[in-house]
Structure formats: C-alpha cells, structure tokens
Amino acid sequence: MSDSAVFVPHFHWDREWYEPFQVFRHRLVTALDTVLATADADPDFRFTVDGQMAAVEDYLEMRPENRDRVAALVREGRLAVGPWLILLDEFLCGGETIVRNLQMGWAAAERLGGAMPIGYLPDMFGHVAQMPQILARAGIGHAALWRGVPGTVDGHAFRWRAPDGSEVRTEFLFDGYDNGLDVLLVPDRIREALAEYAEQTTGRWGGDPLLAMAGTDHNAPDPKLADWLRQASGEERPITVATLDEYLREHVRDEVTAVVTGELRSHVRGNILPGVLSVRLGLKQRMALAERTVDHAERMNALWSERDESHFLDLAWHKIIESTAHDSVVGSGTDETCDQVAARLAEAAQTARAVRDAALAEPAALVPSDGHLVANPLPVPRTALVEVDVVAAAEGPSLVATTADGTTHPVQLVSEAPTVLSDERLDASQLERVLRRIHRRELFGLLIDRYELTANSLVFHLAEAPAGSFDLMTLRGEVAAAAAAHPGEWRVLTLAEARATALVAVPVPAAGLAAFRVGPADGRPVAEVTAPVTATADRLANGLVEVAVAADGTLEVTGADGTVLSGVGRLVDGGDRGDSYNYAPPAHDVLVSEPSRVGVELLDGGPLRARLRVTRVYDWPAALAADDRDRRAAGTVPTPVDMEVEVRAGEPFVRISTAFLNRSADHRLRFHVPLPEPVTVSASAGQFAVTERGLTAEGGWGEYPLPTFPAGSFVSAGPATVLLDHSAEYEIVDDGSALALTLLRAIGSISVNIHPLRDEPAASEIPVPGAQDLGMRIENRFAVLPSADGWRGADAVALAEEFRAGVLVARGTAPGGTPLPPDATGPRVEGRDIQVSSIRRVTDSERGPGTEIRLAALRDTASEVRVTGAFTEATTVDLLGRAIGTEPVTGDGLELALGPWEIRTVVLR
C-alpha cells in the first residue's frame, strides 16, 4: 500500500462543448480568478492548468492586468502551464497539426516563464501511435493520460513506445483525471477516505506515492483545499500538494517495466467514444480543407514569394489548432458550438488561401495572360491534369497545349460556354442605363475588348484578356451622339469570345512551377498521353485500372495486376439510435442495401479523363419510430444517390464521389468494398504512421468495443486500398469479407442517458437537430486502388498524397502573346514511402532564413532519402526547431538515412 500521497490541484477545461466558447470563457475567467486568489493567499498552493495554453490565453485576453501575476507563479513553479496550445482529438487532424499545436503551446508557455515538460493528454478519446516520438523529439520524456490504455497495464505507469522505438514514461490516470475528488467529498474525512482509496488501489502504486488528481471539468478547486490537506496529512501517510510536473520529477521512479507499443484505443479502462469519428461529417471535411490550404500556402510562400507572411500563416494555424479540441472537431457540442467551429475552420482556410494566392500571383506575373501557371505542392515531379477556361477554337485546327520547352500536349474539351450573354431591345433614351453597367472596363465579369456602334445597334465584344485600349468616357460621348441621331428602338448585344473548359495534362517539376498556353494546333507533333482513358456507356479503362458498372449500380474494379474487386460501392443504410459519442443500432433495425432504380450516364469520354454518373434511388426510413427508438419508422423517403466514377490517364486508381440530399434522420450510411478473400487485419494511414488493426477491439469498461477505427489518408484491407480526402471511420465487416467506410452518421442528441452500447451517459441529453444533417447535401470523395500486394506494393503512401494534394493553377497576368517563362524547380525528395508533411519558411537569429522540410518514413524498414535543390547547408532540428546537428551536403543533394517510422526535420539554406 502506498504510504504517501501527492494531490495535484487542477481543472479540465473544455473550451467549448455543451455551451459555446464565450459562455465557457466567462466561467474560465471566474475559475482562474479563484486560482490566482488562492495562490496569493497560500504559498503552498500549486495548480496545473490542464496542459493547454489556450485556457491561459483566453483568460489573459479578458484579464490582461494579471499577466505579471500569472508569469510570476509560472516562474516560481507554482503554476504549471503548457505544453499544448489545445487538448486535441489526435485522430481527427493531421500529424503536422499535432506538431504545430505543441510548438505554439510551448512558445506561448515560454513567454510566461516555461512550459510543463509533460505530454499531458487527460481526456482525449484514444491516442495515436506516434505520440511518443512526437513528444520525445520535442525533448519531452513524460506523458500522462487516461483513455485507451490496454488491459496489460496493471500499474500506474508504463513505457509508451512509438513505432520507431521512441519511448516516454507515461503516467496512467487509471481512475480518470478526477480520482482525488471522491476523497475530498467530506473534508473532515479526508484522512480516512484516502486510506480507503489507497487500500483499494494498493496494487497500482508499487513504492510510489499515490497520485490524487484534485480537479474536474470547469471548476477551480475549493480555496480551502490546501488547508484540508494540511490537516489530513500525518506521519503514517504524509500528503504533499504539487503540480503534475513536480509529482513526476520528484516523487516517482523512472524504472518502469511495462511497455505498450503503438496507438492506445482500448475500451478496457475508459470509454473512448469512437462514434465521434463519423458524426458531423462537415467538420471533418472543413478540417481537412483548412489543413491542406495552410500547408499549400506555406509551401508557396516559402518557395515562390518574396514576402514573409508568417503572421497570417500563424493566425490560420492557430484557428485550426483551436478547432482540433476534443469537443470541437469531434462534433459532440451543441449546434451553435459546432457552427462556431465550422466558421473558425472556414476562416483559417480563407486566411491561408489569401496567402497562397498572393504567393502564386508573383510568378504568375511572368506568365502571359493567354497562359496559365501550374504549381506543384508535392516535392516530386508529376504530370497533373488541370482544368482551365480557354478561348475555343474556330472551325479548323484542334486545340493543343504548349509548354515552355515548346512541347505540345493534347487537350480534352469538356464543355463550351455561351457566347451570347445578353440580347436586348430598348429605346434610345434608355442606352445610358446600359452604360451604367460598365465599371471602367468590366462588364458581366469580363472585360470589353471592343465595341461596334452603328445606327440603332450597339455590340459589345468581351474577353478575359482584351487587346488594345478602351475609354469609357469616349464611349459615353459616342453613344449619346448616336442616340440623338437615331431615336427609336435599339438593339444591344453583348457577346463573349467563344470559350471552353479544357483538360490539359501538364508535366510539373518537384515542388515547382510550369507554364502553358492553349491554342490552335500548328502541325507540330503532339505528345502521347500516358495510359489514355477509353470509355463506353458503362465501362472506363486506362490500361492501369478498369471499372465496369454492374446492373445493381455497384462497380467491378480491376487493377493492372489482374486484381478484381466486385460489388464496390454497395451502400448499406441502417438506423442509429445512438448519440454524438457512440453509434447504436436499433434493436429491430431495418437495413436498406438494394436500390429501387439504377441509371448510368456517360459524362466524359477521354482520353485524359472519363467519367460516369451512376444514380441509384433508395427508399430509406424517414427516422426512428416516434414511439419506439428501437425501431425505424414505417414511412420511407425515396433518396437518389449520385456516384460519379472517374478514371484519369496515368492513374492506377478509380476516383469516386458520392452525393445525395439527406432527408432521413437517425441513420448511418456506409460504402462497402467487398474483398475477394476474408482478411484478419486492416491498416490505415494517419499522423505519421500506418497502423495495423485486427477485427475486434478490447473491451472491459462500460462501452461496447465496436471495431470501428479512424483513417487519415488511406485505409487498406487485403487487395483493396481506399485513398481518402479527409479523416474517416471504417470497419471490416461480414467476418472480414468487406471494408465499410462511413459516409454519414445522423443523430439528434449530444448524449443519450440510456445507450445500448455504453453504460453511462457521456454528457447531458441535449438535443442537437443540426447533427441530423437534414436537408444537407452530403458529399464524399475518395478513390479505390486495387493491388494484390496491398498498400505497400501499390505505393499507397505516394498515391494518397497525389490524390489529396492537387496542383494549383493561376492565370498569367503579363501581356498576352509573350513567351512562356521556363519551368522552375523547388526541393525534390526521393524515397519510397516518404511523407513530406511540411515545407515552410523559417528564420533563425544566428543562421538566418531557411526552408524547413519535415519528413516521415511510413514503413517498417530503413529508408534512404535524397533531397535535392538550391541549398548548400542542411541542419537537423527537433520538433521545436532547436538545432541538433548538421548534415553533409554533396553537390546539389542531401542523403538521409531514416529509420523505420522515423520523423526527421531538416532546415535547408
């Protein structure tokens, strides 16, 4: 039995949840006012601020006069702050976002006197496999957490090991982050209650002091707490008040033998609430868009802009990180809370988009206005399919695209724009009204190229890039004179130049730029399309992958190695009587998997892109029965589901998007990929790792262990790999015979009091009608990659990046008809299964500006990586940007040896 105890006063602060942010902040200010007053009155008092600097920032924004008081307590070690900016959901954001969260939180804590060097993760719904490496590479040797720890851990600590072998000593808060509160219920009985708790948990502590976390959600400790504990302390069991940092540095042994490797998603000691992976789909999509946009903005700003936009980029990152909070992006808050999260993510994406577009505008200024600039955010060369608006060819030569080296490339036209924008007849006295539409030179979103003014007729010719000059004042005078000379009816015709939407396959260097223009063919040879696409009414193929539509609207997908996936796209809809935290099927569920009607339409026929639209109509129950939540209502709603199927030249996967207007409540819809043979494991990529999982999950607490799992950039089972646009939930179903991807989970309550798959409520039973997504268009985008060799043999790491990170396109702004600028190349990274999570501009006070590149080896064997570009010096830094050592640069390259699953950050100068 432990013969001493350490109490850690703290609170856990959900920044927004069942109330929106500002309501919770009002409570936060009151709570931290109490903490500061208690600390002023009692020199022995200590407090741990939940591991997240957001709470401190939010407080000081309202109480700026208390900054010095807070900083003094931090410097004295009486107030533990950081290291995170926010307590995040680790599975619903990218690995790079986790790193930036730690960086921003650490920096904010340092400004107040120093960060708590503990990876404090008290209430996350499970933990990612690479968290120990992230902490270790930031110089943090300890973690403390609650949920997800497997049943093999029987003590209060274990060594948590990442896939690369990195370890952190981890304090297991096995009774939660509020285990000390029951001891404090009756202040006069603390000594007795503590003895009883020590007896109950004696097998956990070994020779270490008992840890009593004295705090809970959204409340400061009682100001009398330290007095109570002084009175309860005695020789037989002395009590110390400490921060969590002090407990781990001064009171426990480092000799811990239990080792746990990889992610923590066990239900055995606490609920991990896996339903948050799939509720409120829109938040997951907004998170992915914001992350992708700020990543591309950083890359474009670092590589192609003279301006340092770090303030805007920091703002975008801050808003993204705020939104990763484990009650924010998960969607377990009220409707108004989730609306605010969505708005914050939109603002982050908008801020980043402004930086990205401004950076692209600089090299676009060297491209003629009849041309386009393509920017490749990936540090590998690629041939990218871009869609641009061009001047349509008159009858005669077909259109081709010409790049700066003079090579011509084929063009596929997919649509033509109307040329007659308006055809009006009006009296001469009304012509001035027409002229008021013109703003300097702009009319109907285009520019006036020229005009024809004759008796009783005015014709405008519009263009995107007009030739010659235009004077509005001259036009006004001419029209006034013509109207006076020719009264009566006039015809005003507004014509746009003939334009079309064109697809062009453009070769782009690694992290580089390429320019092209589209114009009439001039007889020069046209480059051949690699793996061109052919199409019929129900079949698409490009020599690398083939897809055929079956009678029931599902797909047969055949890979280059002959792997066949049949029945792809079977949709299965079932009821959901659960809540935002946990799925729950009604006891008497009705599954709908067969459509009532199927239609197929060919949209594009190749050779660069071919698309089919499969429309299936399903009769889904409208909701759960009003008088019995364990049954689906008898009334059904006919719901058309569009599935666009796309094959592109040179790609070994099939792009798929689904869309429908949701008119049903309380249901879950999943997209099935049947497997040729049953499997016993699956794997998904996310947060710097590819994690393998079995068909079951470990249970033992108060939550049924559904084997639904998170996926970031792809999920794979046997010969089927699905590339993802955003984080998603999946499950291997039908005894290992199918991969099911959740497209929608529509529910109506934050938590339900009586849940068939969870013993206790996860929150209050608050209605959230917005989480039903009624009347919303539900869209999902992914790709199916067949390969008998699984994700490794299919090169899924690289293809997932290519699928998710499209190229960026900007119209040139230099005078039309001038030569195209030559291609420009950025840093190039060569290596199998290497993810590049960040390329950004950094500045060091000693070494000056540089370009930081973060690499992750997503494989279980060592990797040889080569980085080439315009640099002569390379420095390895840790995840907080501190220099570790220099790397030898030979010629134009840097050779790096990465261990299995290693994260490496280098700065190039």
Tens of pLDDT, residues 372-411: 999 999 999 999 999 999 888 766 568 999 999 999 999 9
Tens digits of residue pLDDT in 219-237: 999 999 999 999 999 988 9
Q: What is the mean pLDDT of residues 428-437?
A: 94
Mean pLDDT over all residues of the chain?
Answer: 96
If pLDDT is split at 50, 70 and 90, which confidence band does 201 have? very high
What does the block give as tokens for 628?
Answer: 């019995």
Amino acid in position 273: L
Q: What is the mean pLDDT of residues 442-462?
A: 95
Q: Are 130 and 124 in contact (CB under 8 A)?
A: no
Residue 638 CA: distances (Å) to CA of 149, 410, 598: 44, 43, 13
Beta strands in 681-719, from DSSP E residues, in sequence order: 682-686, 689-693, 709-711, 714-717
What contacts 558, CB < 8 A, 6 or more positions away? 545, 546, 547, 564, 565, 786
Q: What is the pLDDT of residue 415?
A: 87
What contacts 67, CB < 8 A, 6 or more positions away? 60, 112
0.75 exceeded by pTM: yes
Closest by Cα among 608, 605, 713, 604 to 650:
608
Q: What is the pLDDT of residue 703?
A: 95
Q: How far apart are CA 213 and CA 45, in angstroms?
A: 14
Residue 284 CA: distances (Å) to CA of 87, 277, 330, 356: 17, 8, 8, 22
In the chain, the percentage of residues whose pLDDT exceeds 70 is 99
Closest by Cα among 221, 234, 226 to 191:
234
Flag the least confident range among 38-47, 389-398, 573-582, 869-878. Answer: 389-398
Tens digits of residue pLDDT in 8-37: 999 999 999 999 999 999 999 999 999 999
Is residue 470 predicted with pLDDT exceeding 80?
Answer: yes
Q: What is the mean pLDDT of residues 884-901?
A: 93
Q: What is the mean pLDDT of residues 557-578?
A: 98
Q: Are 747 and 579 in contact (CB under 8 A)?
A: yes
